[in-house]
């Protein structure tokens, strides 16, 4: 496929990830497994295995499985606030995965140092400009700039603002952009802005190869962008890492859970650590209910606002062909417009 314009813009991302196309599939708990890693890798993209909160030995086995189904580089996504994070970190350091991605919250300086000492490239999410600055100081090799339009655990700043606060200031490491991306035309313009590549999640859930339950995919087909809502925080004593998911009965249940936990905190019947654990357990269990069991009413249907841009299930090969074709065509159109202006 013709990629002459793209090749001139995304070489940094290709070199960093070691893949043909620096189009990353975000790690989605219960969804981003070895099957999805293979499907994305087979098309020349970069796939991430989601650790979620599986036992450490299970993660080690899944990483080994990924290494067995693809010869292409892939990443392991570690959620720093997961109870099993220490075991995940050890499994990743001992694994064949060349890239480790810290998510959920920002890693400690020592986490980054340990991964680099183990020979891994380190990526970290940045949901604010201050976190981006801190991660660069901690020594990460690259950033994933994720705006609040994304699905799952998110920050509070939109992609549009983060581009101006971080990407335009060139933080001296490759910057990949995620949140609200579903089309090749958008990929083209982000590359023109200086992105090394992009990350998408919702779009890849809609692949035939993705093992997410058919009910979840069908719900995505019907969903509008405004239905992918972010969870509110009711009390600063119970900090919530906001989650964006399709509004349903599960969203209402989470609101009631927060109020119940706040009441228990007021009465001294529960500590902050246990309250936080119950919050995270809700989302881990809720996502499984939707993505694995297919209960899209009571499960957590995590989705980015880009869900409003996808309305069909496609083979992964077709998704990549469409993204790359449209990105290249958009760059050609931009060249033509600029030539017309200069003429």
Please compute the mean of the pLDDT values over residues 177-195 and round it to a whole number. Answer: 98
Q: How many CB atoms lie within 10 A of CB 316?
A: 22
Architecture of domain 4-213+309-342: Alpha-Beta Barrel (3.20)
- Over residues 74-104, the pLDDT tens digits come to 999 999 988 899 999 999 999 999 999 999 8
pTM here is 0.94
Give, in order, the Cα–Cα distances in Å from 4 to each of 7, 10, 17, 327, 334: 5, 11, 19, 11, 14
CA distance 105 to 198: 20
Burial per residue of 253-288, b for 16 or more beta-carbon CB atoms within 10 angstroms, e otherwise: ebeebbeebbebbeeeebeeeebbebbbebbbebbb
Domain map of the chain by residue range? 4-213+309-342, 224-291
- Over residues 39-58, the pLDDT tens digits come to 999 999 999 999 998 999 99
Enter the tokens of residue 19. Answer: 């893949």
- Tell whether the model's pLDDT for residue 343 goes beyond 70: no
Burial per residue of 83-106, b for 16 or more beta-carbon CB atoms within 10 angstroms, e otherwise: ebbebbbebbbebebbbbbbbbbb
Share of the chain above pLDDT 70, in %: 99
- Classify burial at 331, counting beta carbons within 10 Å of its beta carbon; exposed 0-12, middle 13-18, buried 19 or more: buried
CA distance 225 to 98: 35
Q: Are 205 and 220 in contact (CB under 8 A)?
A: yes
- Over residues 20-32, the pLDDT tens digits come to 999 999 999 999 9
The pLDDT assigned to 218 comes to 98
């Amino acid at each position: 496929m013709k990629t002459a314009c793209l090749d001139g813009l995304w070489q940094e991302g290709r070199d960093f990830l070691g893949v043909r196309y620096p189009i990353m599939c975000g790690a989605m708990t219960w969804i981003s497994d070895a099957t999805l890693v293979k499907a994305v890798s087979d098309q020349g993209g970069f796939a991430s295995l989601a650790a979620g909160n599986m036992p450490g030995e299970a993660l080690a086995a899944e990483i080994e499985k990924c290494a067995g189904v693809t010869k292409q580089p892939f990443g392991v996504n570690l959620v720093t606030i997961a109870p099993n994070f220490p075991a995940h970190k050890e499994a990743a350091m001992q694994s064949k995965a060349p890239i480790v991605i810290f998510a959920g919250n920002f890693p400690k300086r020592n986490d980054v140092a340990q991964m680099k000492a183990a020979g891994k490239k380190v990526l970290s999410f940045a949901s604010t400009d201050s976190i981006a600055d801190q991660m660069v100081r901690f020594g990460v090799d690259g950033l994933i700039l994720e705006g609040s339009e994304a699905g799952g655990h998110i920050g509070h700043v939109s992609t549009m603002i983060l581009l101006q606060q971080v990407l335009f200031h060139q933080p001296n490491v490759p910057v990949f952009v995620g949140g609200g991306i579903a089309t090749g035309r958008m990929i083209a313009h982000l590359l023109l802005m200086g992105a090394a590549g992009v990350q998408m999640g919702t779009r890849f859930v809609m692949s035939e190869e993705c093992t997410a339950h058919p009910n979840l995919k069908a719900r995505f087909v019907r969903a509008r962008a405004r239905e992918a809502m972010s969870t509110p925080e009711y009390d600063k004593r119970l900090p919530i890492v906001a989650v964006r998911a399709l509004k349903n009965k599960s969203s209402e249940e989470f609101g009631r859970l927060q109020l119940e936990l706040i009441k228990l905190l007021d009465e001294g019947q529960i500590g902050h650590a246990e309250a936080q654990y119950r919050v995270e357990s809700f989302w881990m269990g809720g996502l499984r209910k939707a993505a694995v069991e297919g209960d899209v009413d009571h499960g957590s249907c995590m989705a980015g606002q880009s869900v409003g841009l996808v309305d069909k299930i496609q083979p992964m090969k077709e998704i990549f062909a469409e993204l790359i074709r449209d990105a290249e065509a958009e760059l050609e159109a931009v060249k033509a417009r600029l030539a017309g202006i200069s003429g």
